[in-house]
Amino acid sequence: MVKAIGTAPNQIPTNANLGTAAYRDSGEFATAAQGDTADTAYQSSDLASQAQAEAGTDNTTLMTPLRTSQATAAYAYTVTSTSGASQDINFSKNAALLSTIDALTVTYTFSSPASAAKVDLLIDYQSVEDLFNLSSYSYSGASFSVATQELTPSGFRFNSDGTRMYISGASSYKVHEYNLSTAYDATTATFSRSSLSTASQDFTQGLAFSSDGTKFYIVGQTNNTVYQYNMSTAWDVSTASYSGVSFSVAAQNSSMIAMDFSSDGTKMYVSSLNSQRVYQYTLSTAWNPSTATYTGNSFLFGSQDTGPRSFQFNGDGTKLFMTGSTGNKIYRYSLSTAYDITTVTYESDFILTQASAASGVAFSPDGSSFFSVHSTARVIYKYTSTVSPTLVFPTLEGPTIPLVVGEKTALSIFTGDSGSTYQIISAQGGIV
């Protein structure tokens, strides 16, 4: 370290000129002449340069207030973020870095190492797009029956934080709400309550919610109309009442069976079992179907399955998943423009082996699992992904890095030899 100019216990400023920094180790007062001589010396070779101050390794030179400020700035703790397939970690000073894992392989590089520096790295493994690759899933062995509430389940949704799920169907004319002890895991459900009957409007087949949970929507095959229900308590279907807001989609086709919205509520989509198409609408007022206008755009699901039952977009509208009862599969499509069904391309499918008559699907936001519901078995089945990202670091000494989808991992990485070696000095996983 460098020494700061100031009064130490055994160094006394001169009586003649207290503004000087001349001292005598003997404890006696220095003369004014000695003080003037010392001042001249301190202004030259005995004062630290900026490089010496920022390096912090010289133990003989003295620090001025400016040099102290520069040294403090050099060692200030900064917090930055990074993402992508290639991520650089700068070791020029102590820092904190939030690293988002959004690729299947992430390669880290270490740059500009100081003689000694520590970086606290928080790895956020929340979303990897390719986890939605259907070939990576397999049945988990877990399931949950909804037969007590609904004999022909079709609509299937989670709330915004995954602590509740909702099932609708044509036999009860209701939306049923369940509490989940593990977020986005339908197999941990416990029945909570049900909505009012929607029989005055239509079957509760297609189901969707507004993003804030204050509205839910149904569409059915009889009237081919989207109906809006308002909830006085968000996400509590027992507080729902019919709003009087509706929009007929009969001009496009009949046997409308499923629906969804874009994440901002300005686009609405309804699919027809009869035409095997999904139709796109724009809403001049978000989440208000009565302001909908048909865009003239549709997409044919029937090329893959003649019995399309339900569909769902992923969180950013770049993927679309459709459940088909004829092939008993889930089909994945990509959209080159988010939420624009004119840009849809079929990619792959996945056979649902546990039961026939697939009628609904829901994914966890991070893609680590999906759930299918079947109208004849009246059971929800859980499928989990085997895909996990690979993190490529320069040579690191220390413990194994714990990495779990949907969680964060905290690492402290240290170099004390100008980057010749790096050590993980602490690692903690399971942060949510």
Closest CA to 258 of 276, 236, 232: 276
Asked if residue 309 and residue 235 are part of one domain, the reply reads yes
Asked if residue 315 and residue 225 are part of one domain, the reply reads yes
Q: What is the pLDDT of residues 64-73, one digit of tens each?
A: 888 888 777 7
Closest CA to 205 of 241, 243, 172, 165: 172
Pairing of strands 95-100, 277-283: unpaired
252 touches 270 (CB < 8 A): yes
Rounded distance, CA 74 to CA 70, Å?
6
Residue 180 pLDDT: 97
Q: What is the mean pLDDT of residues 34-55?
A: 64
- 230: which 2 tokens? 């308002």
CATH of residue 319's domain is: 2.120.10.30
Q: Give the rounded distance of the alpha carbon of 86 from its chain centre.
A: 19
Sign of the four-CA dihedral 283, 284, 290, 294: negative
Residue 74 pLDDT: 67
Asked if residue 156 and residue 270 are part of one domain, the reply reads yes
pLDDT of 11 above 70: no
For residue 347, what is the enclosing H or E element? strand 344-351
427 touches 411 (CB < 8 A): yes
Asked if residue 118 and residue 175 are part of one domain, the reply reads no
Q: How many independent structural domains does the chain possess?
A: 3
pLDDT category of residue 45 using cuts at 50, 70 and 90: low
Q: What is the DSSP string of 88-156?
A: EEE-SS-EEEEEE--SSEEEEEEES--SSEEEEEEEEE---GGGG-GGGEEEEEEEEE-TTT-SSEEEE
Per-position b or e across 104-122, b if 16+ CB within 10 A of its CB: eebebebeebbeebbbbbb
Q: What is the pLDDT of residues 299-331, one digit of tens each?
A: 999 999 999 999 999 888 999 999 999 999 999
Looking at per-residue pLDDT, the higher value among 148 and 21 belongs to 148
Tokens 């709400």 found at: 177
Q: Residue 314: which domain range?
A: 129-385
Asked if residue 312 and residue 396 are part of one domain, the reply reads no
Rounded distance, CA 101 to CA 291, Å?
39
Tokens 């690759």 found at: 133
**Residue 131: helix, strand or coil by DSSP?**
helix
**Residue 278: helix, strand or coil by DSSP?**
strand
Q: What's the whole-number average pLDDT of the chain? A: 86
Sign of the four-CA dihedral 246, 247, 248, 249: negative
Tokens 């050590």 found at: 423
pLDDT category of residue 127 using cuts at 50, 70 and 90: low
Rounded distance, CA 339 to CA 302, Å?
19
Q: What is the pLDDT of residues 376-389, one digit of tens each?
A: 999 999 999 877 77
182: region left, alpha or beta (phi > 0 left; psi from -120 to 50 alpha): beta
Asked if residue 359 and residue 238 are part of one domain, the reply reads yes
Asked if residue 355 and residue 250 are part of one domain, the reply reads yes
pLDDT of 365 above 90: no
134 touches 349 (CB < 8 A): yes
**Residue 251: helix, strand or coil by DSSP?**
coil
Rounded distance, CA 413 to CA 108, Å?
13
Q: How many residues in total does the chain contain?
A: 432
Asked if residue 16 and residue 151 are part of one domain, the reply reads no
Closest CA to 330 of 369, 279, 298: 369
Residue 100 pLDDT: 87
Asked if residue 294 and residue 393 are part of one domain, the reply reads no
Asked if residue 300 and residue 184 are part of one domain, the reply reads yes
209 touches 159 (CB < 8 A): yes
Asked if residue 83 and residue 9 are part of one domain, the reply reads no
Residue 5 pLDDT: 41
Rounded distance, CA 382 to CA 137, Å?
10
Domain limit, last residue, from 58, 74, 90: 74
pLDDT of 119 above 70: yes
* 330 DSSP assignment: E
Q: What is the pLDDT of residues 150-209, one digit of tens each?
A: 999 999 999 999 999 999 988 999 999 999 999 999 999 999 999 999 988 887 889 999
Residue 22 pLDDT: 43
Asked if residue 134 and residue 104 are part of one domain, the reply reads no
Residue type, 327: G
